[in-house]
C-alpha cells in the first residue's frame, strides 16, 4: 500500500482555493500510484475557522466541498478534515471529523475525541467529542485514524481521561494516521516529534502524520509532517514553512533520508515571521507594507523580515525624525533602506509637534515637559504613517517587541499603530539575536543599530534604561511570569530583587488595556499576547 502525504497551505473560508489545492494533490497522488492521500485537520475550512462554524452557510459550503472532493476520489482514497453535523439533538452541533472518501462518495467518518480548550485552542466551543471507536479497513490493512490532539494524551499528567489510540489498538490496527493542525512555536517541532515517537514506541505501529503549513492571521503552522516506522525511526520529515508532498510504501519504511539538522531557535523564529508576514498580506489581498524606520533595532529587523516576505521594493520605509532624533539614527535608517533596496523618505515631525503644542499652549500653561509631549510626538508619527497607509493602500507594520508590549513601553495610537505586529512575541534580547542572524553572511542591518543603547528619542539624551531595567534582566522576569506563570515569590526566590519584581509585574498587568487595542501579534512562543493569553483589564491582582 502506498500513502501520500499532502502538506498544504489552506486559507480559512476560501473554499474554491482549498478545493483546487486538494484536487491537484489527489491527481498528483494518482499519478504516483498512491492508494491513499492524506490531508490535514479541517482542511476544507482552514484552521481555525472559529465562529464561522456557527454560520449555516459556512457549514453548507464545507459539505458541498467535501462532496466535490469525493467525486475526484475514484481509483484512490482520500482522508480529509472537515466539520460534520451532529444529528443528535444533544451536545454541540458539529464534530471535528476526518472524512474517508473513495469511489466517489463518503465511505466512513472518524470523529475527533480529544478537544483542546487551552491557550489558543477553543474547540469545545464548537465541537462535540467522539465517544465511539472503530478502525478503517482498506486493502487488507487496518487503519487507526486520529485527529491531532487524539495522540497527545500521553505522559505523567494526561489532560483527558481517555486515550483514543488505546481504544483503537483493541482492533489490532496495522498503521496509525494522524491529521493535524499543530500551531508553531519555536519549541513545537521538538515537542511534537517526542509525542509522535512516544506513540510509535507504545503501539509499535508505523505512523503517518500530516500537519498544516502557512499562517492564519497570528497563528503560524510550520508543516514538518512526519513518517515514522514501527521501529521508531523517522523515515521522512516534510519541509518546514512551505508546502510539500511525498508518497510512501507502507511495506518499505526504511530510513533513506539524510537526517536534517534542527534549526536554531532564532532561525525558526525568523522563518516563522517571514512566512507569517507573507501569508497575512497574500491572504488579505495586499502586497505592500509601510513602517516607520527609526534607526533602531526593532524597526530594522521588522523592515528586513518584511522585505524577505514581500520583496524589498514593496516595503516603504518612512523616517520621521523629531528635534530629539540624533543624526546617526537618521543615517542608520537610511543605510538600512539602501542596503535592502527599499524605497524611503524623510518626513520631519518637528513642525507638526510645534503646531500641536501651540494649539494646547493655553491648556498646558504652567506645566512642564513630560510623557504627554513624548506621546504627542509618537502620535504624530502614527498619524503620518496611517495617512500614507490610507492614501496608497499599504498595511502598516507595528514594530514593537514583546518586552515593550509587556510593560506598556509604547504609545497607543502612536508607535503601537499597525495592521500586524511582527515582533510582538519576540523579546528584546531575541530581537538582538535576530539582527545578528540576519547579518550572518553580510551586513544588512547597520552595526550601529545593533550596538547602540536603545532609545525612543522623545526627549533629550533618552535611553530605554531610564525607565526599564537592563533587557537581559527584564526579559528573564517577563519570560518566567508570562510563559512559565511564576508568581512574585517564585521570582524573588530565583534571585530577582523584590522591588523590581513587584514593579515589573504591576506594569505587565496594568498595561493589559494597551495590548487589548493593538494589532494581531505573530505567535512564535508558547504564550503570546493575543488569543492565547486572556487577561481581564479591570483587575487588582499584582497591580
For residue 361, what are the domain limits?
A: 267-516
The domain spanning residue 108 has which CATH number? 3.60.110.10
DSSP state of 426: S
- Told to judge if 68 belongs to the known catalytic residues of this protein, a careful annotator would answer no
User: Residue 257: CB partners within 8 Å, gap ≥ 6?
Assistant: 235, 236, 237
CA–CA gap between residue 260 and residue 395 (Å, rounded): 36
Handedness of CA 161, 167, 168, 172 (dihedral sign): positive
* Residue of 111, 123, 128, 148 marked catalytic: 148
For residue 135, what are the CA distances in angstroms to 97, 153, 166? Answer: 14, 19, 12
Q: Note whether residue 445 is domain-resident.
A: yes
Same-domain pairing of 341 and 392: yes
- Told to judge if 436 belongs to the known catalytic residues of this protein, a careful annotator would answer no
Task: For residue 143, give the C-alpha cell.
Answer: 487503519
Same-domain pairing of 324 and 213: no
Q: Note whether residue 261 is domain-resident.
A: no
Q: Note whether residue 341 is domain-resident.
A: yes
The alpha helices in 285-416, defined as continuous H runs, are: 297-310, 327-340, 350-359, 371-392, 402-407
Domain closes at, from 251, 278, 309: 251
Domain closes at, from 251, 276, 298: 251
Same-domain pairing of 69 and 45: yes
Q: List the one residue out of 22, 28, 73, 25 whose CA is nearest residue 45.
A: 22
- Numbers of helices and strands, H then E, in the chain: 16, 19
The domain spanning residue 501 has which CATH number? 3.40.50.620
* 141-147/77-85 β-pairing: unpaired
Q: What is the pLDDT of residue 328?
A: 78
Helices 265-284 + 297-310 axis angle, to 10: 60
Please state the φ and ψ torsions of residue 481, each to the nearest 5 degrees. -80, -50
DSSP state of 282: H
Same-domain pairing of 175 and 272: no
The alpha helices in 215-370, defined as continuous H runs, are: 265-284, 297-310, 327-340, 350-359
Same-domain pairing of 274 and 158: no
Q: Note whether residue 193 is domain-resident.
A: yes
Q: List the one residue out of 424, 41, 20 whose CA is nearest residue 213.
A: 41
Q: Can you give the pLDDT of all 543 residues of the chain as single tens digits?
A: 999 999 999 999 999 999 999 999 999 999 999 999 999 999 999 999 999 999 999 999 999 999 999 999 999 999 999 999 999 989 999 999 999 999 999 999 999 999 999 999 999 999 999 999 999 999 999 999 999 999 999 988 889 999 999 999 999 999 999 999 999 999 999 999 999 999 999 999 999 999 999 999 999 999 999 999 999 999 999 999 999 999 999 999 988 766 678 899 999 999 999 999 999 999 999 999 999 999 999 999 999 999 999 999 999 999 999 887 766 789 999 999 999 999 999 999 999 999 999 999 999 999 999 999 999 999 999 999 999 999 999 999 999 999 999 999 999 999 999 999 999 999 999 999 999 999 999 999 999 999 987 776 666 766 767 778 999 999 999 999 999 999 999 999 999 999 999 999 999 999 999 999 999 999 999 999 999 999 999 999 998
Q: List the one residue out of 297, 241, 190 whose CA is nearest residue 522.
A: 241
* Spatial contact of 297 and 445, defined as CB atoms under 8 Å apart: yes
- Told to judge if 27 belongs to the known catalytic residues of this protein, a careful annotator would answer no
Q: What is the pLDDT of residue 384?
A: 97
* Residue of 111, 112, 283, 514 marked catalytic: 112
* Residue of 21, 41, 128, 457 marked catalytic: 41
pTM: predicted TM-score of the whole model, two decimal places:
0.95
Q: Note whether residue 47 is domain-resident.
A: yes
Same-domain pairing of 455 and 498: yes
Task: For residue 292, give the C-alpha cell.
Answer: 516607520
Q: Note whether residue 527 is domain-resident.
A: no
CA–CA gap between residue 305 and residue 202 (Å, rounded): 42
Same-domain pairing of 159 and 237: yes
Same-domain pairing of 421 and 377: yes
CA–CA gap between residue 216 and residue 47 (Å, rounded): 7
Same-domain pairing of 274 and 305: yes
Task: For residue 89, give the C-alpha cell.
Answer: 439533538
SS3 110: strand
Q: What is the pLDDT of residue 459?
A: 65
Same-domain pairing of 93 and 134: yes
User: Residue 454: CB partners within 8 Å, gap ≥ 6?
Assistant: 296, 297, 428, 463, 464, 471
Q: What is the pLDDT of residue 210?
A: 98
Q: Note whether residue 210 is domain-resident.
A: yes
State the total domains in the chain.
Answer: 2
CA–CA gap between residue 454 and residue 482 (Å, rounded): 23
DSSP state of 521: B
Task: For residue 274, give the C-alpha cell.
Answer: 517571514
Same-domain pairing of 457 and 401: yes
Same-domain pairing of 354 and 440: yes
Q: Note whether residue 529 is domain-resident.
A: no
The alpha helices in 360-461, defined as continuous H runs, are: 371-392, 402-407, 428-438, 447-451
Amino acid at each position: 500500500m502506498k500513502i501520500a502525504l499532502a502538506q498544504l497551505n489552506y486559507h480559512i473560508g476560501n473554499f474554491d482555493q482549498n478545493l483546487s489545492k486538494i484536487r491537484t494533490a489527489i491527481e498528483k497522488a494518482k499519478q504516483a500510484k498512491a492508494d491513499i492521500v492524506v490531508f490535514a485537520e479541517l482542511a476544507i475550512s482552514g484552521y481555525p475557522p472559529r465562529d464561522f462554524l456557527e454560520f449555516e452557510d459556512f457549514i453548507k459550503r464545507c459539505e458541498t466541498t467535501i462532496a466535490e472532493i469525493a467525486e475526484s476520489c475514484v481509483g484512490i482514497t482520500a482522508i480529509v478534515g472537515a466539520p460534520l453535523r451532529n444529528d443528535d439533538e444533544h451536545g454541540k452541533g458539529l464534530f471535528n471529523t476526518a472524512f474517508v472518501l473513495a469511489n466517489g462518495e463518503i465511505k466512513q467518518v472518524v470523529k475527533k475525541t480529544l478537544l483542546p480548550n487551552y491557550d489558543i485552542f477553543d474547540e469545545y466551543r464548537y465541537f462535540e467529542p467522539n465517544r465511539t471507536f472503530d478502525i478503517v479497513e482498506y486493502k487488507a490493512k487496518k487503519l487507526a485514524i486520529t485527529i491531532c490532539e487524539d495522540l497527545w494524551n500521553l505522559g505523567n499528567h494526561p489532560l483527558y481521561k481517555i486515550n483514543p489510540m488505546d481504544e483503537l489498538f483493541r482492533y489490532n490496527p496495522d498503521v496509525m494516521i494522524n491529521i493535524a493542525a499543530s500551531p508553531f512555536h519555536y519549541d513545537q517541532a521538538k515537542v511534537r516529534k517526542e509525542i509522535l515517537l512516544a506513540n510509535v514506541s507504545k503501539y509499535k505501529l508505523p505512523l503517518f502524520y500530516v500537519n498544516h503549513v502557512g499562517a492564519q492571521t497570528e497563528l503560524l503552522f510550520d508543516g514538518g509532517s512526519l513518517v515514522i516506522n514501527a521501529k521508531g525511526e523517522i523515515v521522512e520529515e516534510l519541509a518546514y514553512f512551505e508546502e510539500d508532498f511525498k508518497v510512501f510504501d507502507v511495506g518499505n519504511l526504511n530510513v533513506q533520508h539524510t537526517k536534517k539538522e534542527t534549526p536554531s531557535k532564532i532561525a525558526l523564529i525568523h522563518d516563522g515571521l517571514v512566512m507569517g508576514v507573507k501569508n497575512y498580506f497574500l491572504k488579505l489581498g495586499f502586497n505592500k507594507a509601510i513602517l516607520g524606520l527609526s534607526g533602531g533595532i526593532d524597526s530594522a529587523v521588522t523592515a528586513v523580515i518584511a522585505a524577505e516576505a514581500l520583496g524589498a521594493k514593496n516595503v516603504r520605509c518612512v523616517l520621521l525624525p523629531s528635534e530629539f532624533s540624533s543624526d546617526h539614527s537618521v543615517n542608520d535608517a537610511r543605510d538600512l533602506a539602501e542596503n535592502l533596496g527599499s524605497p524611503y523618505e524623510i518626513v520631519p515631525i518637528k513642525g507638526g509637534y510645534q503646531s500641536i503644542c501651540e494649539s494646547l499652549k493655553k491648556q498646558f500653561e504652567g506645566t512642564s515637559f513630560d510623557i504627554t509631549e513624548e506621546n504627542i510626538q509618537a502620535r504624530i508619527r502614527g498619524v503620518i504613517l496611517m495617512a500614507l497607509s490610507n492614501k496608497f493602500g499599504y498595511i502598516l507594520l507595528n514594530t514593537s517587541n514583546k518586552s515593550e508590549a509587556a510593560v506598556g513601553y509604547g504609545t497607543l495610537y502612536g508607535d503601537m499603530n499597525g495592521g500586524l505586529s511582527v515582533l510582538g512575541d519576540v523579546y528584546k534580547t531575541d530581537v538582538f539575536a535576530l539582527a545578528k542572524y540576519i547579518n550572518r553572511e553580510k551586513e544588512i542591518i547597520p552595526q550601529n543599530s545593533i550596538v547602540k543603547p536603545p532609545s525612543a528619542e522623545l526627549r533629550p539624551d533618552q535611553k530605554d534604561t531610564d525607565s526599564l531595567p537592563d533587557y537581559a534582566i527584564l526579559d528573564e522576569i517577563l519570560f518566567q511570569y508570562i510563559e512559565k506563570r511564576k508568581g512574585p515569590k517564585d521570582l524573588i526566590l530565583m534571585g530577582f530583587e523584590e522591588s523590581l519584581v513587584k514593579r515589573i509585574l504591576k506594569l505587565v498587568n496594568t498595561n493589559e488595556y494597551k495590548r487589548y487595542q493593538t494589532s494581531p501579534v505573530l505567535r512564535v512562543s508558547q504564550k503570546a499576547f493575543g488569543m492565547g493569553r486572556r487577561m481581564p483589564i479591570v483587575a487588582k491582582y499584582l497591580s
